[in-house]
Amino acid sequence: MRRRTKIQLFLLDNLVWILLLLFFIYNTFATDSFFTMRNQVNILFQSSLMGMLVLAQGIVMMVGELDLSIDATLAFAPGITILVTSSMVEPSPFLAILMTLMIGGLIGLVNGIFIAKLRANSFLFTLSTQIIMRGLVLFLIPFSISGLLPAYAFLGRGRVGGIFPVAAVAFVVIFLIFEFLFSKTIFGRKFLLTGGNRKASYISGINTSRVIIMAFVIAGLLAAVAGLIAAGRQNAVSNSMGTNMVMMAFAGAILGGGSFEGGMGKPIGMLGGALLLGMIDNALTLKGVNVNLVSAAKGGLIFIAIMLDHFRVKLNAYILYKENLKNLIETAEDSAGSVAS
């Protein structure tokens, strides 16, 4: 492969970081208080919650599926946990954290089994589980449950050295762990192979059903982690946590290199997508933009992400087509030269 083609593909794969850098430079000069250390830490902190959902959605999209239930899982997992543990004489915060993660993983397991084994449509099935969980949360938690155990709220409220948010540290560490798993291990590569060509992956010996189920379980676990961050941040569990966040998770995953067609994306790119969403939200808030216009801007961002997905897939195919055509021409010329000599 020619060096020029490698550079083009590299820039295309890392487009989100170019956008992030340009947006950062612009706001450094155009937005008051944006470049301060306090605000940069705040962007990381605010991005941590959405980042978990972006990564969850991105991993499911890697295998060629969609998960609309992650924002409801964010509220359902900690909500059910707090209702159960609050009835105990001496509630254990560590048991509560474990239960929250188990509920998130169980929801992902149910989604994955129905979609992988029973061939249910992922969009419709996870939409149904989202509606069910939202209804149950609204019924079971009509009012916020406040006064959480300090250890349970630590992920969302804790500070390293009293300054740096624990959620921001966990946010970066989790993304780096998944980047290692998906770029350096066979386990991670199976997700992209399954999403890229499910039939070929199955024929080559990959248990594609198991990979799809695992993708949904991981998404459920990450949504539960997001629930821990959200509950800890407000030191309460409310039925509105995570409302309408799933569409922005789609946008972040696509901006980070994911695709509705599956077989694309990497966690480090989705980290950039989550940071870009957080930076945009932060800049609009600092500029004092009307809340309705902020909502419109987010809708526009989703539209841009969808168009970017289409553009990136087409451009990637065109670059590879030109490279293959160039190689064929050079091979034909070499063959003709050999015959002439």
* pLDDT for res 339: 64
- The reply to whether 290 falls in a domain is yes
Residue-level pLDDT at 276: 93
User: Hey, CA dihedral for 291, 49, 226, 129, is it positive or negative?
Assistant: positive
State pLDDT tens for residues 138-153: 999 988 898 888 999 9
Tally of domains in the chain: 1
Residue 270 has pLDDT above 90, yes or no: yes
pLDDT of residue 318: 85
Mean of pLDDT values over 90-107: 93
Q: What is the pLDDT of residue 325?
A: 83
How much of the chain is helix, strand and coil, in % rounded to 5? 75, 0, 20
Q: Taking residues 304-324, what's their average pLDDT?
A: 83
Position 90 scores a pLDDT of 80
Q: Assess if residue 311 is contained within a domain.
A: yes
191 in a domain, yes or no? yes
pLDDT value, residue 169: 94
In a domain, 339, yes or no: no
pLDDT at 340: 64
Report the pLDDT value the prediction gives residue 216, as an integer from 0 to 100: 98
Q: Which of 33-47, 173-187, 319-333 shows the lowest per-residue confidence on average (mean pLDDT)?
A: 319-333
Chain centroid to Cα 155, Å, comes to 18
> Which single residue is written with the structure tokens 């010996």?
205
Which residue bears the tokens 């950039």? 272
Q: What is the mean pLDDT of the chain?
A: 91
Mean pLDDT of 53-57: 97
Encode burial over 8-17: b for 16+ CB neighbours within 10 A, e otherwise.
bbeeebbbbb
Q: How confident is the model at residue 297 (pLDDT cuts 50, 70, 90)?
A: confident
Q: What is the mean pLDDT of residues 82-103?
A: 90
pLDDT tier at 99, thresholds 50, 70, 90: very high
Q: What digits encode the pLDDT tens for the residues 190-222?
A: 999 999 999 999 999 999 999 999 999 999 999
With bands split at pLDDT 50, 70 and 90, how would you rate the model's confidence at 313? Answer: confident
Q: Does any domain span residue 139?
A: yes
In a domain, 142, yes or no: yes
Closest Cα partner for 256 from 278, 224, 238, 235?
Answer: 278
Read off the CATH number of the domain in which 178 is found: 1.10.3470
Q: Is the pLDDT of residue 66 over 80?
A: yes
- Report the distance separating Cα 294 and Cα 299, nearest Å: 9
Q: Is the dihedral of CA 319, 321, 327, 333 positive or negative?
A: negative
Residue 308 confidence (pLDDT): 83
336 in a structural domain: no
Tell me the pLDDT tens digit for each residue of 327-341: 888 777 777 766 666
Which two tokens mark 323? 């490279």
Boundaries of domain holding 302: 3-330
